[in-house]
Structures are given as structure tokens and as C-alpha cells.
Amino acid sequence: VNGKYDKLVKAVAKDLPVNEVVLSSDFKNLLIRLCDTVTRKEFESFKTNPTELLAAADGLIGVIVTLKGSNEECVDREGNHYDFVSRYFAPWSGVPEDPVTGSAHNVLAPYWAKYLKKNKFYARQCSCRGGELHVEIQGDRVLLIGGAVVVVKGQIQI
């Protein structure tokens, strides 16, 4: 990405150390991987300003921030380790922070497969509501397994 998104990365990550920035042109998402030294508490508590993100870049759908589940803090209630954790910000689509984003895992799974050398993952999206997903790469597809929340329910008559 050659510095094109430096202002956006700074607006999102603030002073947290960044390991890598990757653009997913297929999904129009910028992936920001934080350094493994970032704690889960730091990861879950950083705040973004949607207006600042909108001013920093355009042409994107969202920003994925991710952290390798490499420390003892990245575990679920039963003590199972997450392979990675993430957060997703999409002010360009009117969503300051999405609670759990299936489409972001279409970018995250191939990214982490390259580094973790596997194709099945246990992940958590660390929004306020949050959610856990089992993610699996099957050929050119990404399979997502996890709970869902009904946000809108209704009928349309055509």
C-alpha cells in the first residue's frame, strides 16, 4: 500500500504498534495487523472517530484491525485459544463499528492461513457485543460457523 493509507492507519491504530498493512482490493477493505506485543485489553479498548476515518481515506468499504491470538489473554471463557482476534470499522457504509462481520473473515482467513500455516481457525471479533467464529478455508471459499443475532425481522409484500 506504499504509504497511501498512512493517515488512515494512524487514525485507527493511534499509538498502537502496527506490524503490517494490507489492502484487499477484492473486498475494498484495509487490513491492519497490530504487533503481537499489543495486549487484548489494549486491542479491545482503543477508540476510533468515524469522521476522522472518513476524512483519512475514501474508496474503501471498511477497515479490519487484527491481532494474532498469541498470548494468554486471547482465550475464551473455557480457556481455548483464539487463533486471531479482530475488529471491523465501516463508517463509509454508515457503520462505525460492526459487532461481528462475516465478510471481514473472507479477508482474515487467507491472511492468517499464510502466517499460521493452517486452514481452520477459532476467532473472536472484539466489538462491544462481540462474537466467536469458527472459520475454515475450503478451496476458494471461506466457511463461517457461529451464532447469529436477528437485527431486523419483518415482511415485505410485493
- Numbers of helices and strands, H then E, in the chain: 4, 8
What secondary structure, in 3-state letters, does 7-32 show?
HHHHHHHCCCCEEEEEEECCCCEEEE
pLDDT per residue over 60-77, tens digit each?
A: 999 999 999 976 789 999
**83 vs 68: CA distance, rounded Å:** 6
User: Which pLDDT band, with edges at 50, 70 and 90, does 103 fall under?
Assistant: very high
Residues 21-30: tens digit of each pLDDT = 999 999 999 9
Q: How far is CA 41 from CA 67, 122, 136, in A?
A: 12, 19, 26
Q: Binning pLDDT at 50, 70 and 90, where does residue 2 land?
A: confident
- CA–CA distance, 10 with 30 (Å, rounded to integer): 13
| pLDDT tens digit sequence for 125-150 | 999 888 899 999 999 999 999 877 77
Tell me: pLDDT of 121 over 90: yes
Mean residue pLDDT across the chain: 92
* pLDDT number for residue 71: 66
Q: Dump strand ranges (E) for 13-150.
A: 18-24, 29-34, 62-68, 84-90, 95-98, 120-125, 131-138, 141-145
Q: Domain spans of the chain? A: 5-145
Within a 10 A sphere around the Cβ of 107, how many other Cβ atoms? 25
CATH architecture of 5-145: Roll (3.10)
